[in-house]
Homo-oligomer: A and B are copies of this chain.
Amino acid sequence: MQPPATKSTVRVAVLGAGNVGGPLCRMLLDDADGIEARAGVRLELVGVAVANPSRARQGIPAHLITGDAKSLAANRSVDVVVELIGGIDPARVVIETALEAGKPVVTGNKELIAAHGAELSRAAARAGVDLLYEAAVAGAIPLVRALRDSLAGENVWRVMGIVNGTTNFILTTMAEEGVAYEEALSEAQRLGLAERDPTADVEGFDAAAKVAILAGLAFRCDFPVEDVHREGIVGLRGIDIAFADRLGYVVKLLAVAERTDIRGPGDGGDPEAGPEVSVRVHPALVPHSHPLASVRGSFNAVFVEGESCGELMLYGRGAGGAPTASAVLGDLIDAASNLSTGGPGRAVPRRTVVTRPIEDLRCAWYLNMDVLDRPGVLGAVATAFGTHGVSIRSMEQVGLGEEARLIFLTHVAREGAVRATLDDLRQLDMVEHVGGVLRVAGGDEDA
Contacts and interface: CB of A to CB of B under 8 A. Distances in A.
B146 A146 contact: yes
A145 interface: yes
Interface in A250-288: 268, 271-274
A149 B316 CA distance: 17
Given A310-B316, A323-B310, A346-B40, A145 B150 contact: yes
Interface in A325-347: 325-327, 329-330, 332-334, 337, 341-347
Contacts of A31: 155, 268
A315 B315 CA distance: 8
A349 B40 CA distance: 6
A154 B346 contact: no
Nearest to A331: B150
Given A140-B308, A314-B313, A330 B150 contact: yes
A180 interface: no
Residue of A37, A320, A344 with highest tally of chain B CB at under 10 A? A37
B40 A329 contact: no
Interface string A302-328: 000011111111111100101101110
Interface in A349-408: 349, 351-352
B329 A154 contact: yes
Contacts of A306: 326
A38 B155 contact: yes
A149 B308 contact: no
A142 interface: yes
A242 interface: no
A308 B334 contact: no
Nearest to A219: B38
A187 B103 CA distance: 57
Contacts of A343: 341-343
Given A309-B323, A343-B342, A332 B35 contact: no
Contacts of A327: 150, 309
Given A294-B294, A314-B314, 18 more contacts: A31-B268, A34-B155, A37-B220, A38-B152, A39-B153, A145-B145, A153-B333, A291-B315, A308-B325, A310-B316, A312-B315, A313-B313, A313-B315, A314-B315, A315-B315, A333-B346, A334-B346, A341-B342
